């Protein structure tokens, strides 16, 4: 019998119709008996449909396009030397420089879309929870209830901070799926606003980020092996206060 952890790992492939028949049947049976995974599956299908219909396409910066066009200029096109060792040695530095340039261009092209993809995924997850009225899977304001709930559902232990005394009570938590893996989503309240805090393992310290995407405010940092993403429609000043208190308590 398939468990939730395995079902969440296979969920993207199931949504794209890429599973082999035995696994497709197993996950279908699991979805019939697991309400949480069934909601996640429905949300991922909805997200896939919306991305296909409305995803933003990004053009390469003009400076990058100009640089590549210069490299592809037929007048400067590389001509293979006659197959002689001395001639080959003369062209090795140029070839190495071209490889290094290509690698650098690849990093520029891949890095930014990856960061933007995570930002979009975090916002999409937050919006899905609001639309589906499924803010939490475990409904509790007690961190000693919420933290153990993740046991067996994730391969890491998320930090659960109690900020009730500061005016940001914990409402509960849920499992979600961000950047190709199951993650912890902690849910806090501030008056009528919902604040989602996503946590997952970070192999290295990433650049901090603060900004607005699709009308929602985002704050990101990494600390002690975990990446944190905070998202809400709460006023930026109050959201900054929340993130600062969360970081301070976590550090302690």
How do residues 7-37 score in pLDDT, each as one tens digit?
888 888 888 888 888 888 888 889 889 988 8
Alpha-carbon gap, residue 94 to 73, rounded angstroms:
16
Domain borders along the chain are 4-54, 135-251
Q: What's the pLDDT tens digit per position in 108-148?
A: 444 445 667 888 889 999 988 888 766 899 999 999 999 99
What's the rounded mean pLDDT across residues 32-51? 85
**Helix orientation angle between 4-15 and 21-33, rounded to the nearest 10 degrees:** 120
Q: What is the predicted pLDDT for the residue at 112?
A: 47
Contact (Cβ atoms closer than 8 angstroms) between residue 163 and residue 189? no
Alpha-carbon gap, residue 31 to 14, rounded angstroms:
11
pLDDT at 90 over 60: no
Left (φ > 0), alpha (ψ -120 to 50) or beta: where does 240 sit? alpha
Q: What is the predicted pLDDT for the residue at 218?
A: 96
Q: What's the pLDDT tens digit per position in 190-220?
A: 999 999 999 999 866 567 889 998 899 999 9
Highest-confidence segment of 44-58, 64-78, 113-127, 133-147: 133-147
Q: Which CATH architecture is the domain 135-251 placed in?
A: 2-Layer Sandwich (3.30)
Q: What is the predicted pLDDT for the residue at 228?
A: 95
The length of the chain in residues reads 252
């Amino acid at each position: 019998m398939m468990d939730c952890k395995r079902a969440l790992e296979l969920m993207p492939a199931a949504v794209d119709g890429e599973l082999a028949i035995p696994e497709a049947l197993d996950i279908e049976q699991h979805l019939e008996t697991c309400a949480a995974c069934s909601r996640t599956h429905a949300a991922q299908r909805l997200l896939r449909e919306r991305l296909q219909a409305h995803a933003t396409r990004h053009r390469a910066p003009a400076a990058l396009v100009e640089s590549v066009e210069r490299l592809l200029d037929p007048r400067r096109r590389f001509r293979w030397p006659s197959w002689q060792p001395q001639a080959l040695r003369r062209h090795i530095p140029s070839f190495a420089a071209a490889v290094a340039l290509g690698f650098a261009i690849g990093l520029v092209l891949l890095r930014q879309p990856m960061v933007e993809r995570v930002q979009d995924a975090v916002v999409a997850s937050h919006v899905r929870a609001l639309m589906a009225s499924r803010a939490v899977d475990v409904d509790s304001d007690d961190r000693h209830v919420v933290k153990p709930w993740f046991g067996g559902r994730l391969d890491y232990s998320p930090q659960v901070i109690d900020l009730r005394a500061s005016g940001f009570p914990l409402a509960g938590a849920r499992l979600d799926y961000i950047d190709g893996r199951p993650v912890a989503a902690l849910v806090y309240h501030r008056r009528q606003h919902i604040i989602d805090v996503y946590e997952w393992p970070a192999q290295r310290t990433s650049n901090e980020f603060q900004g607005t995407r699709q009308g929602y405010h985002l704050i990101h940092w990494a600390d002690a092996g975990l990446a944190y993403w905070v998202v809400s429609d709460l006023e930026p000043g109050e959201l900054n206060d929340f993130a600062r208190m969360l970081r301070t308590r976590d550090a302690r």
